Amino acid sequence: MIDLENVAYSYGGGELLSEMSLSIASGAFYFLTGPSGAGKTTFLKLCYGALVPTAGQIRIFGNDVRGMSRDEVALTRRRIGVVHQDCQFIDHMSVLDNIALPLAVSGNNTLAEDANLKELLAWVGLSHRAKAFPPELSGGERQRAALARAIIMSPDVILADEPTGNVDWEMSERLLQLLLELNRMGKTVLIASHDLSLIRSAKSQVQARVLRISNRRLQLAGANL
C-alpha cells in the first residue's frame, strides 16, 4: 500500500532520515517508536505525501509521489486517514461539523453520509457532544473527535501521531480499542508512539509489528530493515 525504498529526508542542511526501506502491508498493524526528535512525525508525513523524500522512492498505492500532481496527491490522501498530534479543529464550528468537514470538502455530504456520521459519532462515544465546540472538549474527547474525522472518508490506511500522548491510561486504552477495531475491519493502522505500555497492550491483542527510528534509520525488532 505504501512502499519506501532507500528513502532519505534532509532539511536545514542536515539529514533527519536515511536509507529507509519498508512495505506497509494491507491490513497490518504497526507501531513506530523512537526518541523525541528522531523523525517519527516526518516519517508519517512522507507516508501520506505531505513531504517528498530528498532521496529514494515512495510509492503510495502504486504511484510514485514525485510524479503525482497536487490533485492526485489530494485524491490519494482520501484513502489515508491521519490523526495529527495537535488535533487542530475550527473552534467556531461544532464537533459534528468539524468531523464532517472532509465530506463537505469532497462534495459527499449526502443524507446517507449524514447517517454514517451519526453512527460514527456513536462509535467514538461522542453523540452527546455533537453540538459542542472544540474548546469545550476534554483531551480524550478531542482525540476521539480527531479519530472520527480521520476515518469519516473510510480510508484504507490510518496514520496516528502520538494519539494517546495527552490523555490518561484509561482513555489511551479506549483509543487503542477503537484503532484495533478498525484493524479488525481490514484497515491498515500505523501508530507513532513512545508509550511502551500501550504497545504491550496492543501486542497482547493483535500481531503488531514494532518499528523504531534509531540513528536516522528504520529498524524492526532491533535489526535494520
pLDDT in tens, 40-81: 999 999 999 999 999 999 999 999 999 998 888 888 888 999
How is the chain split into domains, by residue range? 1-79+155-225, 88-154
Asked if pLDDT for residue 110 goes beyond 60, the answer is: no
Write the secondary structure of 137-170 as one string of H (helix), E (strand) and C (coil): CCHHHHHHHHHHHHHCCCCCEEEEECCCCCCCHH
* Residue appearing with cell numbers 464537533: 95
CA atoms within 13 A on the CB side of 90: 11
Quickly list H helices, the chain: 40-47, 70-77, 95-106, 111-123, 139-151, 169-184, 196-203
192 close to 40: Cβ distance less than 8 angstroms: yes
Q: What is the pLDDT of residue 109?
A: 58
> Which pTM value belongs to this model?
0.91
Q: What is the pLDDT of residue 223?
A: 43
Asked if pLDDT for residue 191 goes beyond 80, the answer is: yes
Mean pLDDT over 148-172 rounds to 89
Q: Which residues contact 11 (CB under 8 A, 6 or more apart)?
A: none
Q: What is the pLDDT of residue 221?
A: 57
168: which 3 cell numbers? Answer: 490518561
10: which 3 cell numbers? Answer: 534532509
- Burial call 66-87: b when 16+ CB within 10 Å, e when fewer: eebeeeebeebbeebbbbbbeb
215: which 3 cell numbers? Answer: 540513528
55 close to 6: Cβ distance less than 8 angstroms: yes
**What is the CATH topology of the domain spanning 1-79+155-225?**
Rossmann fold (3.40.50)
* pLDDT band per the 50, 70, 90 thresholds, residue 180: very high
Q: What is the pLDDT of residue 224?
A: 41
Asked if pLDDT for residue 222 goes beyond 80, the answer is: no
Q: What is the pLDDT of residue 136?
A: 96
pLDDT, the chain, mean: 89
- Report the distance separating Cα 134 and Cα 175, nearest Å: 18
Give percent above pLDDT 70 in the chain. Answer: 95
Mean pLDDT over 138-164 rounds to 92
14 close to 193: Cβ distance less than 8 angstroms: no
217 close to 8: Cβ distance less than 8 angstroms: no
Q: What is the pLDDT of residue 98?
A: 94
CA-wise closest residue to 3 among 35, 29, 26, 36: 26
- Report the distance separating Cα 124 and Cα 129, nearest Å: 11
Mean pLDDT over 195-199 rounds to 89
